[in-house]
Structure 1
Amino acid sequence: MRPLALALILALLAGCAAGPRIDTRYSSRSQDSRVQYIILHYTSEDLPGSLRQLIQGEVSSHYLIDAKPATIYRLVEEDRRAWHAGDSQWRGRTWLNASSIGIELVNPGYLDTPNGRLWYPYPPEQIDALIVLLKDIVKRHGLGPEAIIGHSDIAPLRKVDPGPLFPWRRLAEAGLLIWPDARRVAELQKRYAARLPDVAWFQDQLIRHGYALERHGVLDVETQRVIAAFQMKYRPARFDGEPDAETAALLAALNETG
């Protein structure tokens, strides 16, 4: 084969291997980040078990944060989908793996004992590391304070993580989360203590907040579990799933600001 012909063939092959030439001078104004939510989990394992589960198993997350020392591991690039949310729904979006970043915290979760369920706390340094990471993610993706949610928010019928000892209020104090105003909650609680709204009202408010729930006016198991998920986040001292005046006040106060 002549040298010139060989050179032309090699040049064509190199062009094919490099992919098409794309002009990037123009950019649409109608776009935003693929990432709409950041979903927080606990692993129910120690670090070695968490790594095995998230690296070699069928589930994955973008980040894993160890407890002591507080170390942030990136397991999946943010522009790729991780398998952490499963069957999930929030504010009308479903199957949230495609539109979220998953963060797993090394934490045993809970232990069932004869005296009840024992939940494990989160070390302050682990939450400090989480807050630094969250601030970085929300800034880069242009996310608001409504974007950070728990696994129990998006799948309340099957998940309870990150659990009642996760310090959501610390995230609010760091400017990462909307928190109900205490004075407004006290004012509303007096009103609802005098006349508690019916179940349909609770269902409406929970749906407005973001939960996937049917509005049928019956206090069924599904409604109780969604109420419990909400209480676990905003009133972790008691998350029995019962619609009461304080829960109504918290819901109403949040929906006023959200």
Structure 2
Amino acid sequence: MKIVTLTVLSTLLALAGCATVPPPPPAGLAIDRTLSARGQSDRVKYIIVHYTVSDLPRSIKILTTQDVSAHYLVTDADQPTVYSLVDESRQSNHAGYSNWKIYNQLNAASIGIEIVNPGYKDTPQGRAWYPFKPAQIDQLVLLLKDIVKRHNIRPENILGHNEIAPQRKLDPGPLFPWKRLADEGLITWPEPSRVAARLPGYQQQLPDVFWFQRTLAQIGYAVPQTGVFDTATRNVLAVFQTKYRPTLFDGTMDAETAALLDVLTSPLPVLPAAPVAAPAGVETAPVE
């Protein structure tokens, strides 16, 4: 993976103080940096994935000359380029009004990645979504692994824009290959055998609206907790289905969605490691 710093605004960005090295203090001020506080953490807690809804030239223009921005842009060339637009130490304006778990306004706690993709078009036959190029996803996986390693991002904190803004955003859409990210060890995925085991019970008795709302909120979604199946709840369900069941994402409360939610919110316990057997012929001392 090759990351290119876009030079269109490089001078302006440098003047704006994008360098991560602290500038020298003004004359007469001495700052001692030999101590470090224990109570601190990385600014970056989340990675948010977007599509640009534009071609490459327009995507670059929007992301470099307007208020909206992103840390990285993955192009749609046959051999995609990954552009670095905003230094990771700085906030980019990619998330907008957003919520996830205890956080809101996720710009301050996230890295935003835009992928060049038109999104969708509405046709007489229905909405048609544009697929992502495999080479784009290959580069994205490398980029995500690098960011995750450097910032220790948890698997449940790699999200789509629609997940943190389900009432107003659709990206990265149903054709984004979340399962590929799961296969790469980047995100959590519901184990199919566990989903299948829970499905018959939910087919016999579907949980009520409040159960769906409570369980979606447990994952992290901002969803009403009213027990009323309103438009806002349907939108959040549709976003969840877009990620974990992209073949059908109509926002309906159904047995398969309930089983997926159940598995994701009830992970298997971590079993203690089995004791290592001593090699043949080696005696171990008894424990007193």
Return the TM-score normalized by structure 2. 0.82
Offset at 1:21? Answer: 2.3
Q: Which amino acid in structure 2 is aligned with residue 231 of structure 1? A: Q
Question: Are positions 1:175 and 2:185 aligned together?
Answer: yes
1:34 to 40, 43, 68: 43
In structure 2, how many angstroms separate the alpha carbons of the residues matched to 1:133 and 1:85?
19
In structure 2, how many angstroms separate the alpha carbons of the residues matched to 1:16 and 1:154?
39
Offset at 1:214? Answer: 1.6
Q: Is the 8 A contact 2:75 2:115 kept in 1?
A: yes
In structure 1, how many angstroms separate the alpha carbons of the residues matched to 2:244 and 2:211?
18
Offset at 1:146? Answer: 1.1
Aligned residue for 1:257, secondary structure, equals coil
Q: Flag structure 2 segments of 5+ consecutive residues without an equivalent.
A: 1-23, 269-288
Q: In structure 1, what is the equivalent of residue 211 of structure 2?
A: 201
Q: Is the 8 A contact 2:213 2:227 kept in 1?
A: yes
Q: Which amino acid in structure 2 is aligned with residue 67 of structure 1? A: D
Give CA-to-partner distance per residue, 1:16-49, whole Å, 9 cap, x none: 7457322222212222210110000000001001
2:257 to 247, 251, 256: 247
Q: Which has the higher helix share?
A: 1
In structure 1, how many angstroms separate the alpha carbons of the residues matched to 2:267 and 2:155?
11
Q: Which amino acid in structure 2 is aligned with residue 226 of structure 1? A: V
Q: In structure 1, what is the equivalent of residue 33 of structure 2?
A: 24
Question: Are positions 1:124 and 2:139 aligned together?
Answer: no
In structure 2, how many angstroms separate the alpha carbons of the residues matched to 1:152 and 1:169?
17
Q: Where in structure 2 are the equivalents of 1:105-124 lying within 5 Å?
A: 105-124=115-134
1:214 to 208, 212, 224: 224
Q: In structure 2, what is the equivalent of residue 101 of structure 1?
A: 111
RMSD over equivalenced CA pairs, Å: 1.3
Q: In structure 1, what is the equivalent of residue 83 of structure 2?
A: 73
Range with greater deviation from structure 2 (124-133 or 21-30): 21-30
Q: Is the 8 A contact 1:92 1:212 kept in 2?
A: no
In structure 2, how many angstroms separate the alpha carbons of the residues matched to 1:20 and 1:252?
57
Q: Is the 8 A contact 2:25 2:31 kept in 1?
A: no
Q: Is the 8 A contact 1:63 1:102 kept in 2?
A: yes
Q: In structure 1, what is the equivalent of residue 234 of structure 2?
A: 224
Q: Which amino acid in structure 2 is aligned with residue 35 of structure 1? A: V
1:46–1:23: structure 2 CA closer, same or farther, 3 Å change rule?
same
In structure 2, how many angstroms separate the alpha carbons of the residues matched to 1:168 and 1:58?
28
In structure 2, how many angstroms separate the alpha carbons of the residues matched to 1:25 and 1:185?
53
Q: Which amino acid in structure 1 is aligned with residue 158 of structure 2? A: I
Q: Flag structure 1 segments of 5+ consecutive residues without an equivalent.
A: 1-14
Range with greater deviation from structure 2 (17-26 or 103-112): 17-26
Return the TM-score normalized by structure 1. 0.92
Q: In structure 1, what is the equivalent of residue 65 of structure 2?
A: 56
Q: Which amino acid in structure 2 is aligned with residue 178 of structure 1? A: T
